[in-house]
C-alpha cells in the first residue's frame, strides 16, 4: 500500500480542500475522542458489573489505539468501490500518513492519560516508527526503484492486483461494487 503513496500529489491539495479537511477533522478531532467516549461508557458504565476494572482499562487502551489510528489501506478499497478519484485518494492517504507521524502519539497519550492507563511515550513513538515510518520508507524506496526500472505506469499495475489478493479486505467488500 505504501508504494502507491505519491507525496508529490500533496501539492494538488489546494484545488479540492473540502474532502481533505473533512477527512482530517474526522480522523484526528472526532474519531479518537468518540471511540474513547463510547468505549469508556460501555466498559465503565454499561458492563461495569461484568468486566473487572483492570481488564476494562486494557480494553479501553485497545479501543483508544484503534480509534487514533486511521486505516489508510481501507481508504484505497473504499475509494475504488465508490468509483472515487484515485489521485485524490492518494493525497488523502499521504496527508494522513504525514499527520500520523506527529499526532498519533500525543492523541493516544492524552486519551490514555485521562483514563489512568499508563503507557510509556517511547513505546508510542516506537509503534509509530515500526508501523508507519518503516513501511513508508520501504514504500518510497520500492516506488522509486520500480519507477527507475519499469517506469511510472507500472506502479498502478502492481498494486491493485496485490490488494485484491488480501482475503480480509475482500471478505467485507466482495460483490458490493457495481
pLDDT digits (tens, 9 = 90+) for 23-70: 888 888 999 999 999 999 999 999 999 999 999 999 999 899 888 887
Which pLDDT tens digit goes with each residue over 84-138? 777 777 777 778 888 888 888 899 999 988 888 888 888 888 988 888 888 888 8
What average pLDDT score do residues 150-170 get?
55
Q: Quote the pLDDT of residue 157.
A: 58
Task: Determine contact, residues 99/20, Cβ cutoff 8 Å.
Answer: no
Closest residue by Cα to residue 119 from 64, 52, 56: 64
Helices (H), 2-114: 17-25, 31-41, 53-67, 72-81, 86-114
Percent of the chain with pLDDT over 70: 75
Amino acid at each position: 500500500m505504501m508504494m502507491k503513496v505519491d507525496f508529490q500529489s500533496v501539492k494538488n491539495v489546494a484545488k479540492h480542500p473540502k474532502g481533505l479537511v473533512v477527512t482530517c477533522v474526522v480522523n484526528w478531532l472526532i474519531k479518537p475522542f468518540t471511540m474513547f467516549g463510547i468505549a469508556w461508557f460501555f466498559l465503565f458504565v454499561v458492563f461495569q458489573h461484568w468486566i473487572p476494572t483492570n481488564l476494562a482499562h486494557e480494553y479501553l487502551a485497545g479501543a483508544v489505539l484503534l480509534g487514533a489510528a486511521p486505516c489508510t489501506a481501507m481508504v484505497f478499497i473504499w475509494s475504488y468501490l465508490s468509483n472515487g478519484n484515485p489521485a485524490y485518494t492518494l493525497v488523502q492517504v499521504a496527508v494522513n500518513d504525514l499527520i500520523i507521524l506527529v499526532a498519533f502519539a500525543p492523541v493516544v497519550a492524552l486519551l490514555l492519560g485521562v483514563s489512568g492507563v499508563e503507557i510509556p511515550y517511547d513505546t508510542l513513538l516506537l509503534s509509530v516508527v515500526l508501523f508507519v515510518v518503516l513501511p513508508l520508507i520501504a514504500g518510497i524506496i520500492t516506488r522509486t526503484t520500480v519507477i527507475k526500472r519499469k517506469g511510472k505506469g507500472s506502479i498502478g499495475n502492481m498494486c491493485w492486483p496485490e490488494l485484491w489478493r488480501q482475503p480480509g479486505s475482500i471478505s467485507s467488500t466482495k460483490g458490493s461494487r457495481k
